[in-house]
Every structure is written in structure tokens, then in C-alpha cells.
């Protein structure tokens, strides 16, 4: 599978995201639409961005009883997005229901990716609040294996976990990885960061990059730099 860079379009309104995408002209990067924009603008924002020619990762992280997730995924499949996600902690049964709902009448469907443990959760919260036994690594790998059992396509993880996920679930199991920063960019609120070049070497399939592109002086140049490092495996200074 071809590696790709997904731009996290974390904008509050349609105008903001459209102005941003217009900067790219004929170039049509793969974009991620999250809850902020989707809840503000509704499903029509997805149709409009799709119409402009972009691939879309719709990041709504579904988590509910299997029947509800199946029906919600059916609605999302009609939006013609390219990738959607859910929480693997919803169980194998829920993920299988999601796959069923997502599969269109002609047999095609968007890629389905699972969230393992959110990176905002620390070890203490995992054991003391959530009462989950096992280390973070063990929990992430367990969730990835459940995702594989359910037949979904891959998981969201840190580039630093990608190799372990691939070892446990196979090379073709997709690793979608946020937490990306250039050597010379700000860390913002990301704690464990990797450059696009290193993410490429670590075997990630997709990197999700937000602020290093959206808040760059020249977003198009920043996007191209990501592609150069990640897709073509060329280090930049």
C-alpha cells in the first residue's frame, strides 16, 4: 500500500477549512475531518470537501452498542468517505457490526481504523481510574489484536508503537500515526513526537499532521516537505 500524508483539518468552520484547502490549488491532499468541524457544519461539509477532490478520513471515533454503530456506519458509508474510525474497546462484536454497516451494496467500503488507548490517558489513569490491569503497551497490543480478529483494517497508534503493532498483527495491518513534528517545529501539546522521515522508517502507513501544516507560514510547502520525508523517505534539515 502506498504511504500517504493526511492533513488534520482542525478548523471551527466551513469558511476556515475551505480557505485553507484553496491554498493547494490542483493538489488534493488526503484530509482528516474531526468532530469539531463535523458537529459545527454537519455531513454537508464532508460532501463539499469530497466534491473538491480530496480523500477524507472522517475521525468521529464511534463507540456504542453494536446495532447503533452498525446503523451509524451505514449512514457514514453513504457519505463516500475513504477512512472512518471507532473505539476498539467497544469489543469485537461492535467492530464486526461496524464493518457490516460500512459495507456498501456493491461490496466496497471505506477503510475502518480502530482507536486503541487515547494518547491522553496515562498509566495511572489506566490502572487506578479505569481499573485496567496490564501495561499501556500490553493494552494497546491487545486492542490491536482484537481489531485484527474483528477484521478491521488497522489502528491509530504512535509511530513508536507501529513496529510492535505490525509484529503482532502483520505487515498489512494499517498503522495510522499522529504525533508528527519536523525537527525544527514546536511540540505544542504532543509529548512523544516523531519526524515524518522517522515515521517513514518505522513502517507507518499514514501520518496525520495538523499544526505543523495548518499553522505554517507556507502550508503548501510544509505539506510537500511532509510528503518528501514520509512518502519518498528523504530526510530534510
Residues that bind ligand C5P (CB under 6 A): 8, 10, 34, 118-119, 156, 178-180, 188, 190, 208-212
Nearer to ligand C5P, 29 or 179 (CB): 179
Q: Is 61 a known active-site residue?
A: yes
- Considering the complex, what minimum distance in angstroms separates the CB of residue 156 from ligand C5P? 5
Q: Which residue from 39, 110, 100 is spatially nearest to 78, judged by alpha carbons?
A: 110
Q: Which residue from 4, 3, 6 is spatially nearest to 214, judged by alpha carbons?
A: 6
Q: State the pairing for strand pair 174-177/206-209.
A: parallel
Residue 50 sits at the vertex; the CA angle it makes with 195 and 72, to the nearest 5 degrees, is 95
Nearer to ligand C5P, 110 or 159 (CB): 159
Q: State the pairing for strand pair 83-87/30-34.
A: unpaired
As a whole number of angstroms, the distance between CA 187 and CA 197 comes to 16
- Considering the complex, what minimum distance in angstroms separates the CB of residue 100 from ligand C5P? 25
**CB-nearest residue to ligand C5P:** 210
Nearer to ligand C5P, 70 or 213 (CB): 213
Q: State the pairing for strand pair 56-62/83-87.
A: parallel
Q: Are 64 and 86 in contact (CB under 8 A)?
A: no
Q: Are 181 and 216 in contact (CB under 8 A)?
A: no
Nearer to ligand C5P, 90 or 212 (CB): 212
- Considering the complex, what minimum distance in angstroms separates the CB of residue 116 from ligand C5P? 9
Q: Active site residue: 14, 50, 55, 61, which one?
A: 61
- Considering the complex, what minimum distance in angstroms separates the CB of residue 152 from ligand C5P? 16
Nearer to ligand C5P, 6 or 66 (CB): 6
Backbone angles phi, psi at 118, to 5 degrees: -60, 140
Return the beta strands (E) in the chain as ranges: 4-8, 30-34, 56-62, 83-87, 111-115, 154-156, 174-177, 206-209
Q: Are 229 and 195 in contact (CB under 8 A)?
A: yes
- Considering the complex, what minimum distance in angstroms separates the CB of residue 98 from ligand C5P? 18
Query: What 3-state DSSP class applies to 72?
Result: helix
Question: Which residues participate in catalysis according to the annotation?
Answer: 61
Amino acid at each position: 500500500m502506498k504511504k500517504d500524508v493526511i492533513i488534520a483539518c482542525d478548523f471551527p468552520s466551513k469558511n476556515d477549512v475551505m480557505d485553507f484547502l484553496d491554498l493547494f490549488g490542483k493538489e488534493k491532499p488526503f484530509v482528516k475531518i474531526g468532530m469539531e468541524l463535523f458537529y459545527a457544519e454537519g455531513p454537508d461539509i464532508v460532501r463539499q470537501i469530497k466534491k473538491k477532490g480530496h480523500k477524507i478520513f472522517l475521525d468521529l471515533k464511534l463507540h456504542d452498542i453494536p446495532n447503533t454503530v452498525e446503523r451509524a456506519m451505514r449512514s457514514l458509508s453513504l457519505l463516500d468517505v475513504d477512512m472512518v474510525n471507532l473505539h476498539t474497546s467497544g469489543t469485537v462484536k461492535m467492530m464486526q457490526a461496524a464493518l457490516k454497516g460500512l459495507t456498501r451494496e456493491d461490496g466496497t467500503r471505506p477503510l475502518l481504523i480502530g482507536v486503541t488507548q487515547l494518547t491522553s490517558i496515562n498509566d495511572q489513569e489506566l490502572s487506578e481510574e479505569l481499573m485496567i490491569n496490564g501495561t499501556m503497551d500490553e493494552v494497546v497490543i491487545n486492542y490491536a489484536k482484537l481489531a485484527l480478529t474483528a477484521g478491521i483494517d488497522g489502528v491509530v497508534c504512535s509511530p513508536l508503537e507501529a513496529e510492535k503493532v505490525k509484529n503482532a498483527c502483520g505487515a498489512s495491518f494499517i498503522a495510522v500515526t499522529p504525533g508528527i513534528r519536523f525537527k525544527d517545529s514546536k511540540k505544542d501539546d504532543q509529548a512523544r513526537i516523531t519526524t515524518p522521515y522517522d515515521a517513514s522508517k518505522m513502517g507507518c502507513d499514514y501520518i496525520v499532521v495538523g499544526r505543523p501544516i495548518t499553522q505554517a507560514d507556507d502550508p503548501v510547502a510544509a505539506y510537500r516537505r511532509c510528503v518528501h520525508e514520509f512518502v519518498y523517505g528523504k530526510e530534510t534539515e
